[in-house]
Amino acid sequence: MGLERALERKPTGERPRFDPDGNRLVGSRCPDCAATAWPARAVCHRCGGPDVQEVPFARTATLLTVTEVHVPRPGLEVPYMLGQAALDDGGPLLFGRVRGLSEPVSLPCPVDLVVGETDEGRPTYWFEPAG
């Protein structure tokens, strides 16, 4: 099956996840079945193919679900919004924080993916209304 090629890839923690300069997430796409993943995988999770390619994903997405959360979390003031979005280039479905959304919102709706940093300086991402 050729899975020994997967052993030659960087370990998960060393693969890039963010492209802050391009404001994109970096993941993987399988050339055999077109499955996408974020973070990137060494082997395709759908077909088991060993030739996954590292790709930057779209900066735009379609917000499919959203919910307002009232449970406090370290570093997040309540209430905050979480949602699931489909990247516009066929990338993976992502679950993440949604900022700047006004009530009420009609779903699905276009959003932009933003890559930034946490207060501790770690890279992160969130979604904002498109435009």
Beta bridge partners of 98: 81, 127
With beta carbons less than 8 A apart as the criterion, state whether 61 and 94 touch. Answer: yes
Cis ω on the peptide bond leading into residue 11 (within 30° of 0)? no
* Sequence-distant (≥ 6) Cβ neighbours of residue 8 within 8 angstroms: none
- Across the 131 residues of the chain, what is the mean pLDDT of every consecutive 10-residue run? 67 83 94 95 90 94 96 89 95 95 87 90 91 79
Alpha-helical runs (H) found in the chain: 4-7
Q: What is the pTM of this model?
A: 0.86
What is the reported pLDDT for 84?
97
Amino acid letter for position 35:
A
